[in-house]
Amino acid sequence: MRILLTGSSGLIGQALIPLLTADGHQVTRLVRSLDPAGASQILWNPGAGTIARDGLEGFDAVVHLAGETVTGRWTARKKARILDSRAQGTRLLCESLAQLQHPPGVLLCASASGFYGDRGDEILTEASQAGSLFLSEVATAWEVATESAARRGIRVVNLRIGFVLSAAGGGLAAMLLPFKLGVGGRVGTGRQYLSWVALDDVLGAVRHALGADALRGPVNVVSPHPVTNLEFTKTLGSVLGRPTILPLPAFAARLAFGEMADNLLLASTRVEPSRLLATGFRFRFPELEAALRHVLGRTG
């Protein structure tokens, strides 16, 4: 397949390119600035609303992962960048694809399990409604922005990706230093659910969704075994061989991280990957301890 990829410099994108290439696919990156050393690139500027439409013809599939990072303190300007980079960029891409003479057969567009907001112990599937947090608003707008592609007949899959486990970046990588120093601990009460997924299984889900014609619309990309923050904390400490006795109270998390704390650290999302499982996807790392040992190289 000829595959167009956005977000190629991100955690998932960087890992996805060699995997798809090894599978025999030809990957072209949609980028905001050309890399003189890189091949197969097409320019776009989501902020300015420009894209090299002539270069979009002839692709079999598009994998859209681009978006402003959600880490960092959420000022009004930061929140606008988070929302606009996803909604505006996705709308530009999808409207451009819809205008092609020969559009791709499938578009995989990243979304997030943050779609569901803070839902306590409620078991959440793709049929569950959106939550009310800022990230719920972002994920909803992100998915709505793909509607022009779906109307054109492109099979659109909205990948609601959970907390990705990787030592190379993302939330887990940021947690490693304090945990290795023995100053990690639960956040808030620790009872909030965390819907996590190993990076290898995110990549596997992308490969699966590219070929699973039955998949369209929202698809939860999370392990079938979500855990509470307390369970996650204890398991990570055990894998690292370090104590986890210093909790971070909710008020301290809010003081340190502002609104981001309520959306990413204190919200409870107990999400199930119903549609992946129903279409035969098999997780390599469904259990947390094995996943952490794999990504952290602690398999011994």
* Per-residue pLDDT tens digits for 38-94: 679 999 999 899 999 889 999 999 999 999 999 888 999 999 999 999 999 999 999
* Residue 257 falls inside a structural domain: yes
**What domain range is 226 assigned to?**
2-295
| Nearest-angstrom CA–CA distance, 220 and 225 | 13
Question: How far, CA to CA in Å, does 217 sit from each of 44, 138, 155?
Answer: 25, 16, 8
Q: What pLDDT shows up at residue 72? A: 83
Q: Summarize the confidence of residues 121-143 as an average pLDDT.
A: 97
Q: Are 233 and 295 in contact (CB under 8 A)?
A: no
Secondary structure (DSSP) of 234-257: HHHHHHHT------B-HHHHHHHH
How do residues 205-227 score in pLDDT, each as one tens digit? 999 999 999 999 999 999 999 99
Q: Confirm whether 250 is domain-assigned.
A: yes
201 lies in some domain: yes
Helices 229-240 and 170-180 pack at an angle, to 10 degrees, of 60
CATH code assigned at 123: 3.40.50.720
Into how many domains does the chain fold? Answer: 1
Gap between the Cα atoms of 131 and 116, Å rounded: 4
Quickly state the pLDDT bin for 34 (edges 50, 70, 90). Answer: confident
The answer to whether residue 159 scores a pLDDT higher than 70 is: yes
Cα-Cα-Cα-Cα torsion 21, 25, 26, 28, nearest 10 degrees, comes to -80
**For residue 278, pLDDT beyond 80:** yes
Cβ–Cβ < 8 Å for 164, 12: yes
Is 300 contained in some domain? no
What per-residue confidence (pLDDT) applies to 136? 97
Cβ atoms of residues 75 and 129 within 8 Å: no
Query: In this structure, is residue 211 part of a structural domain?
Result: yes
Residue 35: pLDDT band with limits 50, 70, 90: confident
- 3-class DSSP state for residue 3? strand
Residue 285 falls within a domain, yes or no?
yes
Task: Evaluate whether residue 15 is within a structural domain.
Answer: yes
